[in-house]
Amino acid sequence: MLKRTSKPLKDGTADRIISRRAEDVLKKLEGTIESSALVHGDYDWVVTFTAKDIKQAKKYSDTLIALHPGEIEKTTLLQTMMFVKKQYILNPERKKLTDFL
């Protein structure tokens, strides 16, 4: 999740997002962007991506900040432990959720 600064966005920021430069960076780290969305709330953008481990995810987060210098106030990484439902499909192993809780 990304929170932008209160400063006006620099020229070209929207174009960098639209061109998906961040996706090219993640490919180099052997990850894949699953979704990327502008949101309303405490954060401004949510990017869902795959990574082989948290270290790789942190590198990607740091790269996003470097791609948008002075425009990102804060990033927060969340790791999905288990899906109960994803893309309309219920996880057949969802009863194992009790193992995580």
Give the pLDDT confidence of 86-101 residue by residue, as tens digits: 989 999 999 988 888 8
The reported pLDDT for the residue numbered 72 is 92
31 neighbors 51 (Cβ within 8 angstroms): yes
CA dihedral 57, 53, 23, 11 (to 10 degrees): 0
Global pTM value: 0.78
Alpha-carbon gap, residue 56 to 93, rounded angstroms: 27
Convert the pLDDT of each residue in 2-34 to its tens digit: 999 998 888 878 777 777 777 777 778 788 888
Separation between Cα atoms, residue 86 and residue 25, nearest integer Å? 26
Q: What residue type is 9 in one-letter code? A: L
